[in-house]
């Protein structure tokens, strides 16, 4: 879900029958016309953090064990902060590598 920019089993992005999706589209499909889900947002942030390396197995184990501080609100704010930090550091790395 995190890696594919389009939904269409066995189809390329420009083929008929594919749908570009984002977080809001996923919420509409999964939940229908119900209340937006903070957990879908958190799930996508977790997947992105795992891919980038700032979320490790401990976070997933803590969620599974229902540890304090691993509720949807705390996770969302913490992951957004980590995402911002990672993007800043990554941008600095890119800028330094272009100067060399």
How would residue 61 be classed by pLDDT, with cut points 50, 70 and 90? very high
> Tokens 């977080």 belong to which residue?
23
Scan for tokens 């008929």, then name that residue.
16
Ramachandran category for residue 10: left, alpha or beta (phi over 0 → left; psi -120 to 50 → alpha):
left
More confident site: 4 or 44: 44
Q: What is the pLDDT of residues 16-45, one digit of tens each?
A: 666 666 666 677 767 766 676 778 778 878
- What does the domain layout of the chain look like in residue ranges? 6-99
| Tokens (6 digits) for 49 | 């953090």
Helices 38-52 and 57-64: angle between axes, nearest 10 degrees: 150
* 62: confidence class by pLDDT, cuts 50, 70, 90: very high
Q: In 3-state terms, the chain is what percent helix, strand and coil (to 5)? A: 60, 5, 35
pTM for the structure as a whole: 0.62
Answer whether residue 14 shows pLDDT above 90: no
């Amino acid at each position: 879900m995190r890696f594919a920019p389009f939904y269409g089993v066995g189809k390329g992005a420009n083929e008929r029958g594919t749908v570009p999706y984002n977080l809001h589209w996923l919420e509409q499909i999964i939940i229908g016309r119900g209340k937006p889900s903070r957990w879908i947002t958190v799930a996508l942030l977790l997947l992105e953090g795992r891919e980038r390396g700032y979320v490790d197995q401990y976070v997933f184990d803590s969620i599974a064990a229902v540890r304090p501080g691993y509720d949807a609100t705390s996770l969302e704010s913490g992951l957004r902060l980590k995402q911002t930090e990672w993007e800043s550091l990554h941008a600095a790395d890119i800028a330094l590598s272009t100067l060399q």
